[in-house]
Amino acid sequence: MDNGITRQVFFLLSGSSKFLFYILTLISLIIFFYGIIRFIKRIKRATSSPLRLSLKKGISLIFSNQSIIKDKILNGVSHLAIFWGFFLLFVGTFIIFINSDILDLISKSLNFFHGRFYLYFSFVMEIAGSLLILGILFFIFRRIFSRSKALDYKRMDRASNEYSRSSYIIGDWLFLGLLFFIGITGFILEAFRLNLEIEKFPLFSFVGFLISKALFPSKGFYHLLWWIHALAALFFISYIPYSKAFHIIADPFKLLLKRKEPYLLSSLQPEISEEEDHKLDFIDFTYDEVLNLEACTRCGRCHEICPATYTGLPLSPRELILDIRNFLRKKEGDIFIGEYEELLNTKKDELIDDIILSSSLWACTTCLSCSEHCPALINHLPFVAKLRKELIDKGKVDPGIQEALENIAEEGNSFGESENTRGNWVDMLDFDLKDIGKEKADILWFVGDFASFDTRAKKVTIAFAKILHHAGIDFGIAFSKEKNSGGDVRTIGEEGLFEELKEENLKILSKKNFNLIVTTDPHSLVSLKRDYPEIKAKVMHSTQLLAELLKTKRIRLNQIKGNKKVSFHDPCYLGRYLNIYDAPREIINLLRFSLVELPLNKRNSFCCGGGGGGIWKQEEEKDKRLNYHRIKEALSLDIDYLIVACPKCLVMLEDALKGIQSKSNLIIKDIVELVEENLLV
């Protein structure tokens, strides 16, 4: 194809104009890289944490936008259009730079920006620019017309006790407006060029060609628009590290770099200094935590999906992350456009209570919904636990949680019962259970606090023991040697107490008296899997074991009469934490119940409110209790049973059902009870 098919890169620009452009480009890049250096310094100020490069998964997430599309397809596709449009335009600009500013200087014969390559290049750039503009238009219209909670930046002003519009909205509009302006002026500039420069195949620049039909040739307009477009693009480059646009840099870092070990909380967490005059700083966080802070794009998905936010409790996962990030940035003197004007004009230097309410931290039930739905895969929980620890050190603890912690410290359980009574429920069985500390067994059953002491939950415990006995399972329990697993204690921020509990539990759990650990308590399950790497035995939930026993026909079920309609409440700690969704549903199917899914199910399941110490807290007003909202959701369906698979969920939801005083015949049952009731003897 004719090598004469090309275009001038600096069409109609004089040598002095090109020189000025290069000077401005250099200044823009200096400002850009200064911002990147500040970003690296913020991370280096943090405490070292072992990171690994997750290349395959990270690149897949970056280029496919899977984590954005999975929850909101239209939003995700629009973001994908912006991403690919911006990425291709960036690559195109880099190609022009390589050709015109490097190869041309070496030898004109190396120039490749002509012929078929140029035509295909032009066509791809047209598509890229179109994708960019269409994606931006979607988000512009969304911000104008949508009433989504995700876009609600209103927050309470502590001084006036009134809600005010946050300045974050300025950053959003500036980011979208700049990108849109650069894209539109680029097409108009191309249209002027096509009117002024003869091109053999103008349809390869199809958008510019269509626009050119509505314009008249004007060198003056072209020259003026070229500089407007160039200055906007250079400003955008220098603006990136100091604005919402910074997620273009921070998010790939976050998605590519992972901790070497999977974790939600870690013993590698740096301790916040207990010195009286210590002010929170980057060193109080790990590398990956600072990356979590930097990666937040304020998209609001965590805000609109958080059960506490939904019910009106004073918590927003988005605001928590942004408040910590902006507090730390302010201390470093880093200015971010449209980020934290609320903090700039205040003398507040304490993060907790000055900026983040202690009640916000205690409102978190550690349900993991925020992290599950975060497109940047931000882990919010370490921040909650870290700041809760500071509250505990200062004695600012909910009275109910304080009492539970004291009970656990004294007796090893949250009920304050003597540790010698932990296994008293065994007396209600007509067979003996092995003491795993004295005898060997195939399975160690880690019973947990609620399953051992709560009157209602003990019925499930007895039912599970009967099933295992009926199946001929060789199992035992640790009786008084078992302590609270410490998982909830850790999320509350009592790391020291957790370590004591772990040390006591490992005296039994590290023995070789068993091959498998099973528990009916998802909270204990998560803790044993996450916090006890010393355990070599496999750990599983009761629903997984029951599903296996039913499939292998070690236990059989009676043919159930009638078609009972049931819904299953996915416990947060079983579902979002461990991705166990199928086993309970397999059991329900084998029970021959008709499953009617709750509107919020599986990874979108609404929390019962019992996690993160929530079950020990003093009760909020009824309309703010998570368990009440979950029961109302169940009551909206025509079902006979609401099935659970967690002792805490059982207690929380039954309390709510009693409190609502509904005339419905809804019955709440643990899945273990239903299996035991329908065993074929």
pLDDT tens digits along 206-251: 898 899 888 888 898 999 999 999 999 999 999 999 999 999 999 9
The C-alpha angle with vertex 142 and arms to 138 and 143, in degrees rounded to 5, equals: 125
Q: What is the pLDDT of residue 345?
A: 52
pLDDT tens digits along 18-65: 999 999 999 999 999 999 999 999 888 888 777 788 888 889 999 999
pLDDT tens digits along 97-108: 888 878 777 877
Cβ contacts of residue 319 below 8 Å, gap of 6+?
Answer: 155, 303, 360
Q: What is the pLDDT of residue 151?
A: 82
Kindly tell me if the per-residue pLDDT of 66 is higher than 60. Answer: yes
pLDDT tens digits along 423-476: 999 999 999 999 998 999 999 999 999 999 999 999 999 999 999 999 999 999
Q: What dihedral angle (degrees, nearest 10) is formed by the CA atoms of 111, 131, 296, 238?
A: 40
Q: Which amino acid is at 471?
A: A
Q: What is the share, in percent, of the chain residues with pLDDT greater than 70? A: 92
CA distance 646 to 635: 20
Who has greater pLDDT, 225 or 276?
A: 225
Which segment of 155-159, 618-622, 657-661 scores lowest on mean pLDDT? 155-159
Q: What is the pLDDT of residue 169?
A: 81
> Token pair 């013993």 is at which residue?
267
Domains along the sequence of the chain with CATH: 55-146+164-252 (1.20.950), 263-393 (1.10.1060), 416-551 (3.40.50.1860), 565-677 (3.40.50)
Kindly tell me if the per-residue pLDDT of 140 is higher than 80. Answer: yes
The band of 160, judged by pLDDT with boundaries at 50, 70 and 90, is very low
398 and 362 Cβ atoms separated by less than 8 Å = yes
Choose from 261-275, 550-564, 580-594, 655-669 the range with maximum mean pLDDT. 580-594
The band of 266, judged by pLDDT with boundaries at 50, 70 and 90, is very low
Give 554's Cβ-side CA count (13 Å radius).
Answer: 13
Kindly tell me if the per-residue pLDDT of 69 is higher than 70. Answer: yes
Here the tokens at position 252 are 């790939």
126 and 72 Cβ atoms separated by less than 8 Å = no
Over residues 655-679, the mean pLDDT reads 91
Over residues 113-134, the mean pLDDT reads 91
Q: What is the share, in percent, of the chain residues with pLDDT greater than 90? A: 60
Q: What is the pLDDT of residue 267?
A: 46
The mean pLDDT of the chain is 88
Who has greater pLDDT, 262 or 150?
A: 150
What phi and psi values does residue 478 have, to the nearest 5 degrees?
-95, 0
514 and 436 Cβ atoms separated by less than 8 Å = yes
Q: What is the pLDDT of residue 584?
A: 97
Q: What is the pLDDT of residue 347?
A: 60
Cβ contacts of residue 305 below 8 Å, gap of 6+?
Answer: 369, 370, 372, 373, 604
The band of 515, judged by pLDDT with boundaries at 50, 70 and 90, is very high
Q: What dihedral angle (degrees, nearest 10) is formed by the CA atoms of 84, 87, 89, 92?
A: -120
Q: What is the pLDDT of residue 164?
A: 55
Cβ contacts of residue 88 below 8 Å, gap of 6+?
Answer: 124, 125, 127, 128, 131
Dihedral sign from CA coordinates of 625, 630, 635, 641: negative
CA distance 133 to 637: 43
Cβ contacts of residue 160 below 8 Å, gap of 6+?
Answer: none
Which segment of 50-54, 271-275, 383-387, 565-569 scores lowest on mean pLDDT? 271-275
Sheet of 594-595, strands arranged across: 594-595, 565-568, 641-644, 667-670
Which segment of 199-203, 357-361, 503-507 scores lowest on mean pLDDT? 199-203
Q: Which amino acid is at 202?
A: P
Here the tokens at position 438 are 């004295």
Chain Cα centroid distance, residue 582 = 22
Cβ contacts of residue 37 below 8 Å, gap of 6+?
Answer: none
pTM of the prediction?
0.90
Here the tokens at position 528 are 């044993």
Which segment of 352-356, 454-458, 643-647 scores lowest on mean pLDDT? 352-356
Chain Cα centroid distance, residue 556 = 40
